Structure 1
Amino acid sequence: MTDALNAALAKAASDIEKTLDRVLPPASGPEARLAEAMRYACLSGGKRLRPFLTLEVAQLFDVTPSCAYRAAAAIEAIHCYSLIHDDLPAMDDDDLRRGKPTVHKAFDEATAILAGDALLTFGFELLAGQDTHPDPRVRLELVATLALASGAHGMVGGQMADLAAEKSEGELDLHTITRLQKMKTGALITAAAEAGAILGKASAEARTALKGYAHDMGLAFQIADDLLDVEGRVEETGKAVGKDEARGKATFVSILGLERARAQAELLTEQAIRHLAMFGTRADLLVALARYVIERKS
């Protein structure tokens, strides 16, 4: 199954890259630099885990591939916007992303801010387009779900909580870190799974199972990220490591220690897999994906 997952991830990444290349063409005139920065952020490789999740869930419900790819591209656009803004000097102040200079280093801070803003709104433009789904109620639900996951009650709220945590004088507990990461990282991962189910007009039972899967996998993913920050190498991760400890940042690893954090990630992975039981062998790649997120080196 490892070989099958690697092949599926590679194909999905290539197809998403082609989709983004098509829907984000170069521009001319004063906005040309903005379009170049947007393309730089989106066409720089990466795992494409979130769009892969959308595509794999969509296939469970026989969604038309062209519809699934548009929704997946929208989610990746919003994810890329979040990376641009996270890397800014006012946030995490990173110089490297996916093995390349971050957008504000390759261009400038103002262009990076605008590129992030443009990718955020472009994601919703894609979802609202009729080519994403013929049923306007489906498109509306996609927009609402992703807006909730991306905004003050999801990813952006989680980033604010993360910034506040860095300035906090007291030690954060496991509950607080879990809530923070559910918002900052987990919300968009869960929305990616939900998007595939929404496109397929899945039953309430199926959607609940998939949300549970994505929720547990999202937390395991973040724990794996925390472990990579301690144990990873820049050559493999494509970004700076050791940042969290240097900044005195509270993480799953700093609270639980390496071994307990690794054990928790494994427990969450098995919980995530159990949520998929109702889908049988059709969800084999989703099962493999859950195990991949805690074994990855980048």
Structure 2
Amino acid sequence: MVKSFEATLDELEKAKSSGNLVGAYENTLEPYVLQFGEEVEKNPSEARIEQWLRIYTLLSSLSIEGPSDITQTLYTSAQDNFERAMAKLSGDAAANAADFIESLEAPALSMDDMARATAAAFPISIAAAGLQPLAAFSATEAVDAGHVKLYRGTLTVFDANKKVTGIYKANTGGFVADFRRKNGPTPPGLFKVSNYRPDRGNTPGMKREGVSFSFDLDERNPTGNRSAFRIHPDGPPPGTHGCIGVFEGADKLHECAVKLNGVLKANGPFWLSVAYGKADV
């Protein structure tokens, strides 16, 4: 069933007002939003783009690929209509749409910049803080792979005795350069891992070699107005909008999901550390 623009917008506004925007989008509204966006891509008139931007700006803080990819496509393929549509927006919608365009031109951050940001995110070591992450994402190189650099490294999973149980290639970023901006790479710091979902196959960017899953990531010390960070397979194109994308073949992807879910079952929600460069956390 197709929802009208008005019905979709109304449900998103109610979900945001009630503090349930992420859940409402991922559990119910995602297919309707994406379908509407695809229809606007086919007919990118000024009026339709204005409607799309009113929907997108409600979702702009979510680290998800579909809506922001559609917005970029409309900006690049129908820029005149896009700019005229933006001029008709007001309030938060106008501010969020403008922030999206500005974020696409955010200055690039080098690995040295990211290492310094990592050091600032961990003013004392994790051990000294009395915390025990049972997973870690460590990015060790910046790679040119599209719009901006993505960061590539490894996702390591531990057991309760800090024994390594799995190591997997993983990416983040590639859409916006600055981790402090919406759609940027995963910020350095600590994240709580929870909520394993074994099938996210209909969500853009979360399926690779036939495998889809996700784990929620909640930032311990927020670096900006962002939410819906996830661990998931890095579906094409390479890179993410803030999530950690596991960049492996089908067997290793299955293994990664099993290992992470095993930690979750044994320990409940657990900490994951995110670090860049050679910073010692």
TM band (smaller chain) = under 0.3
- Which has more strand, going by share of residues? 2
TM-score by length of 2: 0.27
TM-score by length of 1: 0.26
- Which has more helix, going by share of residues? 1
